[in-house]
Amino acid sequence: MNSKFKALFESFTLPCGVELKNRIVMAPMTNFSSNEDGTVSDSEVKYYARRSGGVGMVVTACTYVTANGKGFNGEFGADSDELIPSLRQLAIGIKEQGAKAVLQIFHGGRQVPPQLVPNGDVVSASAIPSEGAGKPVPRELPEEEIEAIIKAFGETTRRAIEAGFDGVEIHGANGYLIQQFFSPHANRREDRWGGSIEKRLTFPLAIVDEVKRVVAENTNEPFIVGYRFSPEEPETPGITMADTLVLIDALADKNLDYLHVSLNDFWSKPKRGVDDSRARIEIIQERVGSKVPVIGVGSLYSADDVLRAKDTGIPLIAMGRELIIDPDWVQKVAEGKEDEIVTKIDKGKQEELMVPDPLWQAIIHTPGWFPGIE
C-alpha cells in the first residue's frame, strides 16, 4: 500500500462500540431488484456480497417500514415478520465478506408512486404535493397514524436485530417522509407536529427515540443507529442550511453512532441560510463532529479524491456509484494498485460486476448519472 493512504485503513470504533475495519462505507443506493413479494432477490444478495469484501460497513438500499411507505419498484420490504428470513439472507451476504451490515429504514411519504401502495393512498405531513407536474396530493396524516408510523420504525429495527444486521440507518434524507415533517414546504401543520422549527423536529426525533428504545429492549450487543439527512432543499419554502444546523444540533444530542450527509458532490457549498463559503460538509463537521461521527459522500472516484475528503477531518467516507463501477476499489488501494481503479462504467461488464438487471438498465438509460454514460 502507498503509505499516504494508510489513514483510510485505520480502524474506527463507533460510539456504540462496533469497530469498523477501515474508513470506507458503501453508501445506500436503490437498485430496483427485489422480488415482487418484497423479498430480497438472489441477484441482490450477490450484488451486495460482491461489494462487501473491502469496505468497513455496508448501508443497504432503503427498505419500507409500512406498506404505504414503499417508494420504488423492486424495493425490498421490512414491514412484517414474514420478511425476516429474507432480510437475514441479505445480512449474511454482507457480513460473510467481512463488512458490518446496516439496514436503511424509510417511509417514502408523498414521494411514493400511488400504484405501489395500498389503495393508492399517498400520505405526508400535510396535503401539499411535491413540486413538479402530475405529483399526487398526499393525505395529511392524523395523529394516530403518525404514532403508528413511529412505532413501525421501531418494529423494523427489531426485525433488523432478529435478522442479524449490525445496525440501522434512519433515512431522513432525499425528500422522504422524515424529511417532509422537518420541511417547511411539506409540513404546514399547526399542531405539535409542525409550525415552528422545533415542532417540525418532533417527528424525526420521535423516530430516533423509538429506534433507540427498541434497540435497548431487544439486544445487549452493540448495535449501530445512524441517521441520514439532506442539508438543503431547492423548494421555497424549504430546508435551508440554517435549518439543518438546528436539526444536527438536536441529533447530536441523541447518542447516535453517526450522521450521514446525503450529497451528490462532497464539496458542494450552501445555497442559502448561512454566510459561509466553505463546503457544507466542513460546516457540518465543525458544528457537530466532536459530538457524533460524520459520514461524507459525493462523487469521490479516485483514492486521492477520498484522501482529500478525509483530510477535512471527516472520519468516514461513503462511496456509492464508485463501488458499482469498481467493486474492488478498496482492495486495489490496499494492494498499492490505486492506478488500476476503474472510474467509468464499462457497458460490457454487467455480469462481471454482478449488477442486477433492473439497476443495470437504469444506469445505462440515465445519461449523466454514471461516468461513462453520456
**H or E element that contains 17:** none
Asked if 222 and 16 count as a contact pair (C-beta separation under 8 A), the reply is yes
Burial string for 128-140 (b: 16+ CB within 10 Å, else e) reads bebeeeeebebeb
Instruction: Compute the distance between CA of residue 257 and CA of residue 14 in angstroms, rounded to an integer.
Output: 6
Q: Chain centroid to CA 175: how far?
A: 12
- Nearest CA to 5 out of 341, 245, 274 is that of 341
In this structure, which amino acid lies at residue 77? G
Residue 202 cell numbers, joined:
418532533
Give the three-state DSSP class for 137: coil
* Torsion angle, alpha carbons of 5, 7, 11, 16, to 10: -130
Query: Would you call 176 a catalytic residue per the annotation?
Result: yes
Enter the DSSP assignment of 290. T
Q: Which class for 5: exposed (0-12), middle (13-18), buried (19 or more C-beta within 10 A)?
A: middle
Instruction: Compute the distance between CA of residue 55 and CA of residue 295 in angstroms, rounded to an integer.
Output: 14
Give the three-state DSSP class for 324: helix
Q: Which class for 70: exposed (0-12), middle (13-18), buried (19 or more C-beta within 10 A)?
A: buried
Q: Which of 176, 227, 258, 301 is catalytic?
A: 176
Between the CA of residue 364 and those of 26, 96, 168, 360, what are the distances in Å? 21, 30, 30, 6
| Residues whose CB falls within 8 Å of the CB of residue 327, separated by 6 or more in sequence, listed in order | 50, 51, 53, 54, 353, 354
Instruction: Compute the distance between CA of residue 306 and CA of residue 4 in angstroms, rounded to an integer.
Output: 12
| Residues annotated catalytic, as ranges | 176
